[in-house]
Structures are given as structure tokens and as C-alpha cells.
Amino acid sequence: MLTLRATFSPVAHLLPNPTEWGIESHVSTIAIAITTLWLILGSGYVLRTKKDGNVYDLGGIPIVTAWTFFTKRWDFLCGHFANTGGRMFRFRVMQHRVIALTGEQSRKIFFNNHSLDISEGYRILLGGIPNLEDIDISKEFETKRQEEIKRILMLFRSDRVAEILPTLLHDLNQRMLGWKKEGKMDPFNEVYDLVFQMTVRLATCRELAEDKAAVTQLSGHYWNLEKSGTPVSVLLPWFPGSAKKRKGKATMALYRMLGSYVELRRNASTPTIDTIDHLIGQGLSDNVVISTIMAVVFAGVVNTGVNACWLLLHLGANPTWKARAIEEYAALVDKHTDTISTEPLHKRLAAVPISAWENELPSIDLIIRENVRITTPAAALRRNLVKEFMVDDVVIKRGDFLLYSMGGLHMDPNIYPDPSKFDPNRYVAGRAEDRKEALAFVGWGAGRHPCAGMKIATLELKLILALMLLGYEYELVDGSGKSLESLPQPDRNDLHHVRCLHDRSADGMFRLIFVHRRVH
């Protein structure tokens, strides 16, 4: 079967319709060739990087300059920081200015300045970049944002999580039973399903969480919406392309689906401990309940999914740390459960108190921290909503977007020697590489914007890891079934899955899979 791969060209609209090219238009063809050459040569001049004070301005046509930011963000940042000698640079996305920062002093400002907003910052990735006049930057806006964070923190209080812990483990066990006792699987599919199931359980209600078909349907809407922020939809928001239509359709489908379960629980005779009932009990409107659910889902699935996959990969490629993790989990179970119990593993794990999951797994904490460092995405984004301020003598105007290269920080060999190496001992006393500079580790946010879901995300990772390490024996192989001598590096341009480099095809190209055997 012949497959054509089409790529949108920013200059395509400048050229005549190819169907009108005929023999009689020889002169026109020459004119087209001359025009195209002029565009290429002109772009080479216009798009050159120019230093404007202390910031390098990438210049040029915004759609051309910013294209790679949306298609290969890691390469975009690394390439331009290399070209500018590691100094900040500036570019435009449509009418909006984006300033890319690096370095310790810029990092302090980025993560602590009160004028910077995290939620508005990420609108640039979702394709819904508003004009500054449309943004409510009053105290009411700040209050609403703080209230949403408080609601999320309330949902993930230790006492609430303790009540739902057995159900989370039951859900994971049921999903894992679908893997059968032994076989092969793609972790970037199966492990993501585990994370999505837990997120639905935590964020919605049992009627939805226990309906596998509904969870699958919800997952489809989520991924359609998550991936709708294509370069075309963001850089050309007026263009009625497939991504724009898919985004609108997925948004409405997601809203209606969640709304139906909110209505179901609102009309129920007896409330439960589930999240929807908890939010309804606070007197919140349907829209606020749905927006809170969506905030939890969109904040948790991708980041937790990436880290869950890579935790298993890194331990599969590092047998010493894998053995250490298994030993620590086994000690946790022996300490807090009946050692002669014949109950299934997931029920024994459910007897372990929340405080033990949080405080009695020091090696697992080191492993998770190192895993987060290596798999952190390319950049964090903020938007200045309040007033002008300075960064290295550069004025950050009201309405400007800022980005900080978190991946660049975490892969800096001056802070983390041999940064690509998986080495959880980096953080132990005597080394403490993450304390060499202020905020040298930002994998869970930092300063004014730490991750509100850090504790629950960490618990989810620990639960998946416990069931996998104690319940299965597994190894990593390629598509031909050969054991891997070394683990490939993550593809940091892959913002949704951060798969291994070249892990793209089942036909001849590298493919990483689990070979697993259930032992409990």
C-alpha cells in the first residue's frame, strides 16, 4: 500500500495552484522559481538570530521560526541555546512574544515571580492563546485559580486517599490480569492504561471507573484533545483543519460525558466518598465540578504515565537497583501485613498504611527522583499577567510568555555529571547534586508553583512499581526478542509519551517490549 506523508508548508499559499501549470505557462514557471529562490534567500537573512541588548531575537516570520518549537521542542531549545552561547532568546508565536530562559538567576525569577501564571502559560501548548485583553488578571482571577488548587489538594488528602487505596490496587490488579500469566507487551500502551484507570478512579466516580468500555471511551476523547495542539492549530488558529475540528468535537464529547456522570451522582439518593460526590457536597456547580475533574486528568495522565513507563524500563536495565527496590517492597509488606497470609498480593499491599507508602521507601524515592530528572519534558511555561519586570536587564512585558528549559537543566553535566546515566545515588548525602545550585531539580515544579499532585502521583508510581516488581518477573527485549544490552535514551521531542528514540515501528525498526511472567 502506498502511503503519502504530507507536511504543511508555511509558504505553500504563496504559490499558484499546481493544476494550472501548463506548457504555455513557461514564463510563469520561471517567475515562480525566481520567487521561491527569493523567499529562500530572503528567509535566510530575515530569520537570522540577532542580538537585541541582552536577548537574542530569532526574528523572521513567526510561523516559520516557531514551527520546530511545536514539532521538535527539545531540538529547538538545544539548538538555539547552542547558537546563542547559552543566553536567553526570544521568538514569536503569532502576535505573542516568548522568551526562553536558562541559568540559575533566571530560574529563581521564573519559579518565584508573583506576576507569572502557570495556567495561562500552558494555553500556548493547547492552541487557545487568548489576547491579553481577554484575560481576567484581577484578584478575582487569582482567587479562582487558588481555589481550584485548594480543591485538588483537598481531594488528595491522606485520609481520603487511604479510603480509596484498596480500590486503586484492585483496579490495577484487574487490569494486570488482562496481561495473562506470561507474554509480551508494549509498556507505552499497557502502563499508560494503568495510569488512566487510576486517574479516572481518583477524579470521578465508581460508575465510570468500573465501566471499562466507558473508561476506554473517555480515554479516546482525552487523547484526541491532548494531541489537538498541532503546529497548524496553534500557529494558524483560524485554519479550519482536522486538528481544530477534532479539538472541538473531543472537548464537547468529554464535557458531555463527564456531565452525565455528574448529573447521575447529583440525583443519587446516597452520597459516596467518590470525588464527584465530594465536589457536589461542597455546593459547586456542574461546570466547576467538570473543570476540576478535567484539571486532574490533564495534569496527571501524561506526566505520571511517562514516569511509570520509564521507571520499569530503567529498573529493567539496572538489575542492582531493581533488586534493591524489590527488597525494600518485600520488607514493607512483611512489616505491615501478615507474613503467612494467603491473600492476593494487591490485598496485602492494601493493608500497608499511607504513612508507610510515603515515608518507608527511601530507595524507591531516590529511584523516582532520578527517573523524573531524566524524563522531564523540554520546558515549563509561564505568562506575565501583572506588571513588567526585569530578567538579566531584559524587560519582560505584561502579556509575554516565558519558558524555562527544565530538560536542559536536568541534563546539564556541570550539575549532574554523566547526565544520561541512571544513578539514583546522585541525591544521597555527600553528593547531593541537586543542591549544587538553587532549584537545580524542578521535576515536581518549584518555588511558587510546586506540583499540587506530587504526592498522589508519587503514590501511583509506587503502587504500579510494587505490583510489577513483586508480582512479575520481566525483562526488556527488542522487536526480535533479543535482550537489550543497554537502554536507549528517551525521545525528548515526544511530548506525550517520551518513547525511546527510534521506538516507532513494528516492521524492522527498534521496538522495546516487556517479556513478563506473573509470579503472584
Is residue 20 scored above 60 in pLDDT? no
Count of alpha carbons within 13 angstroms of residue 445, beta-carbon side: 16
Which residue is listed with cell 464537547? 252
pLDDT of residue 175: 94
CB of 275 closer than 8 Å to CB of 203:
yes
pLDDT of residue 50: 64
Annotated binding site: 451
Q: Are residues 146 and 31 in the same domain?
A: no
List the CATH number of the domain containing 418: 1.10.630.10
Annotated binding site for heme: 451
Q: Are residues 153 and 262 in the same domain?
A: yes
Q: Are residues 356 and 466 in the same domain?
A: yes
Task: Identify whether 128 is part of a domain.
Answer: yes
Is residue 332 scored above 50 in pLDDT? yes
Which cell is 197 given? 484507570
Task: Identify whether 474 is part of a domain.
Answer: yes
Task: Identify whether 115 is part of a domain.
Answer: no
Task: Identify whether 79 is part of a domain.
Answer: no
Q: Whose CA is closest to 186, among 471, 519, 516, 517?
A: 516
Cβ-based neighbour number of residue 28 at 10 Å: 13
Q: Are residues 37 and 130 in the same domain?
A: no
Of residues 373 and 225, more confidently modeled? 373
Total domains present in the chain: 2
Tens digit of each residue's pLDDT (9 = 90 or more) over 457-471: 999 999 999 999 999
Which residue is listed with cell 503472584? 520
Task: Identify whether 443 is part of a domain.
Answer: yes
Euclidean distance between CA atoms 217 and 336, whole angstroms: 38
Cβ-based neighbour number of residue 189 at 10 Å: 11
Euclidean distance between CA atoms 113 and 346, whole angstroms: 44
Q: Whose CA is closest to 258, among 282, 271, 270, 275?
A: 275
Confidence of residue 513 (pLDDT cuts 50, 70, 90): confident
Euclidean distance between CA atoms 282 and 304, whole angstroms: 28
Q: Are residues 189 and 314 in the same domain?
A: yes
Q: Are residues 18 and 159 in the same domain?
A: no
Q: Which residues of 301-329 are buried (b: 16+ CB within 10 A; e: fewer)?
A: bbbbbbbbbbbbbbbbbbeebbebbeebb
Check residue 490 and report its DSSP letter: B
Give mean pLDDT, residues 254-261. Answer: 94
Q: Are residues 219 and 364 in the same domain?
A: yes
Q: What angle do CA 103, 367, 378 make, to 5 degrees?
A: 35
Task: Identify whether 83 is part of a domain.
Answer: no
Task: Identify whether 288 is part of a domain.
Answer: yes
Task: Identify whether 117 is part of a domain.
Answer: no
CB of 174 closer than 8 Å to CB of 263:
no
User: Average pLDDT over the chain, rounded to whole?
Assistant: 82
Count of alpha carbons within 13 angstroms of residue 201, beta-carbon side: 22
Q: Are residues 38 and 187 in the same domain?
A: no
Host domain of residue 13: 1-42
Q: Are residues 16 and 164 in the same domain?
A: no
pLDDT of residue 61: 83
Of residues 21 and 229, more confidently modeled? 229
CB of 352 closer than 8 Å to CB of 470:
no
Confidence of residue 408 (pLDDT cuts 50, 70, 90): very high
Q: Are residues 181 and 326 in the same domain?
A: yes
